[in-house]
Structure 1
Amino acid sequence: MSPELNHINDDLLVKYLLGETTQEEALLVRSWISAHPDHQKQFDQLKIIWQESGKYSSSVNENDAWVRFKNRIQQSQNKKGSVRKIYRYSWLRIAALFVVIAGSALAYFLSQKEPVQTLTVQTRSQPLTDTLPDGSVVTLNRNSAISYPEKFAKESRKIALKGEAFFNVTPDKTSPFVIQVNDVTIRVVGTSFNVRSEKGTTEVIVETGVVQVIKNQKVAELHPKERIQIDQNDSVLVKSVEKDQLYNYYRTKEFVCDNTPLWKLVNALNAAYNSNILIGRASLRNQPLTVTFEDESLDTILNIISETLQIEVVKKNGQVILQ
């Protein structure tokens, strides 16, 4: 075996891997590889590690790493006055590349964000109060659900809602509280308000603070005692004044009526007691009521309505008819 084929410059192998050799240099490398099985094995191992080193980060300079390793080895050789065979250099380059790969892999994995788990709270027959990761408190009505991340992002606190819920939001000007319900977005900083979704209709009632309601790039700003109801096909956002506090019944166990029409109280009672109360005469629908029911039974409430409006309560086939 010729001296050239027994010893080959390790940097030449790297140039060959990078495709930077001349035709003569490439021929020399190929001849060296084929000259002995150990050469082929050594080259294959170097090639594999060299290829792997480029998978993680393009910012890592393998050549710089190798130069530092070679300089340190050269200093050690000068002190000992010995000359090492070229295959030792190849393994040292492989060691240097292992360092590069390990550093690149570590940087890669550290840069990956841990997946954020989504939590879902769902109610069935009873309301439920839950505290969110930021300290905000939400009370869910029956048959409702919210989904939110285990840890809120810095730029916003996003919630998805189905059904009805009352929110008491912890103030944070740097991270708005955002609720998505149907095709409506509700955005606040720190406030309390009620949101109800039913058959594609979204209703928002504000108790304290300011709430932005957004649909199709149109924005309505609600203040305390203001309400908005948005149907799926609505193109205009119209807000109104909310006088009573019927929206709060599932949270306070109170029905507070302030000159409230009968139909509105009946809707709240049906939702709260899962009942089927009907108004038998059209003339009764808008009869006003000013009264507060505090955790009363449905029969007690119906008796008081009957006496107040001088009407009859008829129970028939699972229905309750006011007439």
Structure 2
Amino acid sequence: MDIEKIKELIIGHFEGNLTGVEKRELVQWLKASDENRKVFAEMADYWGIAHLPYFASHIDADLHENFGMSLNQRQELSQKRFSLFLHWKRLAVAILVLLAVSGLSYYSGYSSQDWTDEVVCFETVVPLGARSKVVLPDQSVVWVNAGSSLRYDKNFLKEKREVYLKGEAFFEVTPDSLKPFVVKSEELAVKVLGTSFNIRTYEDEEEVDVVLLSGKVDVYMNRPVVLKHPVHLNPNEQLTYEKGSEKVFKREVEAADICAWVTGEMKFTKAPFSSLIKELERKYNVKLKVETSALLQEQYTGSFTSEHTIYDILHEINIDGKYEWKQNGNEFTIHDRM
């Protein structure tokens, strides 16, 4: 395919104005070789960086020219010119990291794109020990917690506002009365117009929680036998679904405390250590092995900021010196003091 034609198709795809015929041409080019897909992925990363609000005003004017340059250099295998493109991309990423550090928070994640014949899916996957901020095309903001993933397709804003979540995320949804915002998980769906709320739906946990901080939400269960009608939540209310019993509960909570993880904090009230283990493991990317039943039953009330380390927390839970712990890599074993 002619180099200029490829350039037009890729830019047209990012701008969302390809015809059906042009979409099929681009898909065929992508299917032709791993090299073509690699070029597209690198340009997609660049496009994403260029359209973050901070960078848009700085490099939009040069966007089309530099896309063309990068693609031409790929075709001509001119390593020198292509390295300039990579340098610019690395510089943008470095600036993002610098901004994150200066904000006293650590954000991490990676994005990918899955091709079918017609649809591209955008996914952000966040590793253990990190959290990531995602700005959706409608300017809604999502904070994705450790060990979680968020996915949406390219028609997110055109046809509907729908995302898919595994793990935990906090949403600040931009109001749009014509296009409700829907979060889907394996067990349930949450429908809103404009609000702030938290969903916790980890596969390895027995409960799924939806907590409303502000606005209004309706929660729908994916299996009608569990709940035939949606549950409406008001601020500071939490819906809990128990996977084993398939029961649904609603209760009042301090939503701000539950959502505090967004700023790197942990807040808990009369929580048994057994319920904190998974949260600590995800936050600090460690494995906790508890060889004392007494510790699992102990209840804790308190809070930790992003500045506290796992060592700080282990010291606090053992303030009266009843336990000992040893470390092997990222695994900590806790047992009764001999």
**Do they fold alike, i.e. is TM over 0.5?**
yes
Matched, 1:164 2:175: no
Counterpart pick for 1:184 among 185, 188, 194: 188
Counterpart pick for 2:315 among 299, 303, 323: 303
Runs of 4+ in 1 over 6 A off after TM superposition: 109-114
TM-score (norm 2): 0.54
Distance change in 2, residues 1:194/1:113 (3 Å): farther
What is the aligned partner in structure 1 of residue 209 from structure 2?
203
Give, in angstroms, the shift of residue 283 of structure 1.
4.1
Matched, 1:137 2:149: no
Q: What CA distance in whole angstroms lies between the structure 2 residues aligned with 1:319 and 1:110?
A: 56
**Equivalent residue of 1:118, what SS?**
strand
- Do 1:243 and 1:258's aligned partners in 2 also have CA atoms closer than 8 Å? no
**Equivalent residue of 2:199, what SS?**
strand
Counterpart pick for 2:239 among 228, 246, 251: 228
The amino acid of 1:321's aligned partner reads I
Give, in angstroms, the shift of residue 194 of structure 1.
1.7
Distance change in 2, residues 1:144/1:268 (3 Å): closer
Q: What CA distance in whole angstroms lies between the structure 2 residues aligned with 1:113 and 1:161?
A: 31
Give, in angstroms, the shift of residue 247 of structure 1.
4.5
**Equivalent residue of 1:170, what SS?**
coil
Structure 1 unaligned runs (5+)? 1-108
Q: What CA distance in whole angstroms lies between the structure 2 residues aligned with 1:242 and 1:196?
A: 15
Q: What CA distance in whole angstroms lies between the structure 1 residues aligned with 2:248 and 2:232?
A: 10
The count of residues paired between Structure 1 and Structure 2 equals 214
Which 10-residue stretch deviates more, 213-222 or 199-208?
Answer: 199-208
Alignment of 1:1-150 (within 5 A): 117-125=120-128, 126-150=130-154
Across the aligned residues of Structure 1 and Structure 2, the Cα RMSD in angstroms comes to 3.2
Q: What CA distance in whole angstroms lies between the structure 1 residues aligned with 2:335 and 2:260?
A: 21
Alignment of 1:238-253 (within 5 A): 238-243=249-254, 247-248=258-259, 250-253=261-264
Give, in angstroms, the shift of residue 284 of structure 1.
3.7
Q: What CA distance in whole angstroms lies between the structure 1 residues aligned with 2:135 and 2:155?
A: 12
- Do 1:254 and 1:293's aligned partners in 2 also have CA atoms closer than 8 Å? yes
Q: What CA distance in whole angstroms lies between the structure 2 residues aligned with 1:231 and 1:218?
A: 17
- Do 1:263 and 1:285's aligned partners in 2 also have CA atoms closer than 8 Å? yes
Cα deviation digits, residues 208-254 of structure 1 (max 9, x gap): 22222211233222233322332445543212333486654642111
Matched, 1:264 2:270: no
- Do 1:245 and 1:255's aligned partners in 2 also have CA atoms closer than 8 Å? no
Which 10-residue stretch deviates more, 198-207 or 188-197?
Answer: 198-207
Identity %: 28
Give, in angstroms, the shift of residue 174 of structure 1.
2.2
The amino acid of 2:121's aligned partner reads T
The amino acid of 1:230's aligned partner reads Y
**Equivalent residue of 2:278, what SS?**
helix
Structure 2 unaligned runs (5+)? 1-17, 24-117
Q: What CA distance in whole angstroms lies between the structure 1 residues aligned with 2:260 and 2:324?
A: 22
What is the aligned partner in structure 2 of residue 313 from structure 1?
324
Distance change in 2, residues 1:244/1:224 (3 Å): closer
TM-score (norm 1): 0.57
Distance change in 2, residues 1:284/1:250 (3 Å): same
The amino acid of 1:171's aligned partner reads P
Q: What CA distance in whole angstroms lies between the structure 2 residues aligned with 1:206 and 1:280?
A: 36
Cα deviation digits, residues 160-215 of structure 1 (max 9, x gap): 11222111111222211111100311111111122222227532222222222211
- Do 1:246 and 1:268's aligned partners in 2 also have CA atoms closer than 8 Å? no
Q: What CA distance in whole angstroms lies between the structure 2 residues aligned with 1:246 and 1:298?
A: 20
